[in-house]
Amino acid sequence: MTEPVHEAARHGPVTRALVRWLMRPARVAAVETLSPRFRLVDIEGEALRDVTWAAGQKIQVSVGGGLSTRTYTPVMWDAGRGRTRLLAFAHGDGLGSRWVSSLRAGDRCQFFGPRRSLDLSALAAPIALFGDETSFGLATLLREDPPTAGAIQTFEVSDAAEARAVLASIGIDQATLIERRADDGHLVAAADEVLRCIGSGADVALTGRAPSIQRVGRALKAAGVRSTRIRTKAYWAPGKTGLD
């Protein structure tokens, strides 16, 4: 989503032309604050009507008035009304976090998509989802989508009380929450929890922070879990922006 027009005007004519060519216009219809860092954001517009969307697909939103984007997994898409919903998380002090924190109903925005992201169709239900705060939108879809209903969810989080309250507000009350440690020592417990879920017959989706995915993935493979039972999708990595 773009900043207001007077901000977008700071960009040159070539950038503005590319935005108009590549992205679809919309507006922010509503913003609901779930916690200091989480927002439910409804976006609407003609460009969202009659769009074919599948659960798990992504959209990319302009967050700086130009071609800088952040990727979100919509938790709902009403093609008839031309409306979609994002569960947005502000972490750090980057463009994406500032955009999330400053959103107001009526703001104009730009996006492109939806496009394919994480394909879980080949995994057997129930799915064991590992992720973090950026995975909560996907968790909502796994809860509601019939092929993956009953997903077993484990999250590494920086604030367990905040995360639990946000998850409860979107209808998820059975997730296992493991608070982060600076030395990543918490990932031992996370890997053990995911392995326990696999023991009950679940296949695995590893999402969220890239180093955590790598660490848990190595533990699964060391325990003999076949790669065909695992899907991965990194949403972010320390020091990097705009992971797709």
Domains of the chain: 5-115 (2.40.30.10), 127-236 (3.40.50.80)
Structure tokens belonging to residue 90: 């502000």
CB of 28 closer than 8 Å to CB of 41? yes
Average pLDDT over residues 9-30: 71
In degrees and rounded to multiples of 5, residue 230 shows phi and psi of -125, 135
Phi, psi dihedral angles at 37 (to 5 degrees): -115, -5
Distance CA 100, CA 37 (A): 8
pTM of the model: 0.87
Say if CB 22 and CB 37 are below 8 A apart: no
Measured distance between the N- and C-terminal CA atoms of the chain, rounded to whole angstroms: 16
pLDDT: which is higher, 144 or 198: 198
What are the pLDDT digits (tens) for 158-215?
999 999 999 999 999 889 999 999 999 999 999 999 999 888 778 899 999 999 999 9
